C-alpha cells in the first residue's frame, strides 16, 4: 500500500494519476465547500466520466450515492463510489462554473473557475480540453424540488466530510476546489471558498 496526501488550495484544481484498484479520498476540512470532480481514461482522454451516460445506464438517480458505479462517455465502468462520509450531499445537476457564467452574473475582470482549473490541469499534461464534462459536484446541496425546479441551498456539508472512489480503469482525475463566491445569489460555498485535501491509496487493491 502506498498512501499519498495533497492539499488543493481554494479556487484551484489539481490532476492525479490513478490505476485500476486505486482509491481517491476527497476531504472538505472546513466544510461548506464544493469539489468539482472529473475523471478521464488515462490512455484515451477523449473518454471521460459522463454523468449523462451514468444516469441512463447505471445509477438512474440524480444524486451520487455510495455503492454506485459511474460510467464513461462510452458507457464503460470508470469508478465506484465506495464510501460516502458526507450524508449524500452531492449532485450531478450543475455544470462547472466558467468565465461566461461569471460574466452573466456581473463579475468584472477575471475570476477563477472550475472549467479553467480543469483545462489548466490537463494542459500541464499536454491534453487540450475543449468541452467541459459535467462534473460530480461533491459536497453540494443543490437539489431539484418536487416541481423540477433547481434550487441551490446553502451548502450544508460539514468539516471533515469526505468521499472515497475506487478506480475501475486507469484514470486521470481532476479535483477543483470550486471558486464560486457570488454568495448573495447562489450560496454554493458558504464562508468560502476553502481548500480541499486529497489522499490516494491502495495501488493494486482488489475491486
Q: How confident is the model at residue 206 (pLDDT cuts 50, 70, 90)?
A: low
Residue 107 has pLDDT above 80, yes or no: yes
More confident residue, 154 or 138: 138
Describe the strand order of the beta sheet including 161-167 as a list of residue ranges: 4-8, 196-201, 23-28, 161-167, 77-85, 69-71
Q: State mean pLDDT over 130-145.
A: 94
Global pTM value: 0.93
Q: State mean pLDDT over 166-175.
A: 98
Residue 205 has pLDDT above 80, yes or no: no
Which of 202-207's residues contact partners 24+ apart within 8 Å by CB, and which partners? 202/1, 202/21, 202/22, 202/23, 202/166, 203/1, 203/2, 203/19, 203/21, 203/22, 204/19, 204/21, 205/1, 205/21, 205/22, 205/23, 205/166, 206/21, 207/20, 207/21, 207/80, 207/166, 207/168
Q: How many CB atoms lie within 10 A of CB 190?
A: 17
Give the pLDDT confidence score for residue 97 in this predicted structure: 96
Q: State mean pLDDT over 48-65.
A: 87
Give the pLDDT confidence score for residue 204 in this predicted structure: 55
Amino acid at each position: 500500500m502506498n498512501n499519498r496526501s495533497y492539499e488543493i488550495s481554494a479556487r484551484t484544481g489539481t490532476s492525479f494519476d490513478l490505476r485500476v484498484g486505486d482509491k481517491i479520498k476527497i476531504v472538505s476540512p472546513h466544510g461548506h465547500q464544493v469539489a468539482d470532480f472529473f475523471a478521464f481514461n488515462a490512455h484515451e482522454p477523449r473518454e471521460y466520466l459522463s454523468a449523462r451516460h451514468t444516469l441512463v445506464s447505471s445509477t438512474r438517480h440524480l444524486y451520487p450515492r455510495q455503492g454506485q458505479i459511474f460510467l464513461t462517455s462510452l458507457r464503460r465502468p470508470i469508478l465506484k463510489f465506495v464510501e460516502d462520509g458526507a450524508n449524500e450531499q452531492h449532485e450531478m445537476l450543475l455544470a462547472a462554473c466558467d468565465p461566461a457564467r461569471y460574466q452573466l452574473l456581473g463579475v468584472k475582470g477575471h475570476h477563477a473557475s472550475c472549467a479553467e482549473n480543469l483545462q489548466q490541469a490537463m494542459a500541464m499534461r499536454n491534453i487540450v480540453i475543449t468541452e467541459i464534462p459535467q462534473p460530480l459536484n461533491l459536497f453540494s446541496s443543490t437539489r431539484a424540488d418536487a416541481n423540477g425546479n433547481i434550487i441551490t441551498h446553502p451548502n450544508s456539508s460539514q468539516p471533515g466530510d469526505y468521499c472515497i472512489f475506487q478506480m475501475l480503469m486507469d484514470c486521470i482525475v481532476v479535483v477543483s476546489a470550486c471558486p464560486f463566491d457570488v454568495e448573495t445569489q447562489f450560496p454554493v460555498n458558504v464562508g468560502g471558498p476553502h481548500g480541499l485535501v486529497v489522499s490516494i491509496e491502495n495501488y493494486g487493491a482488489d475491486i
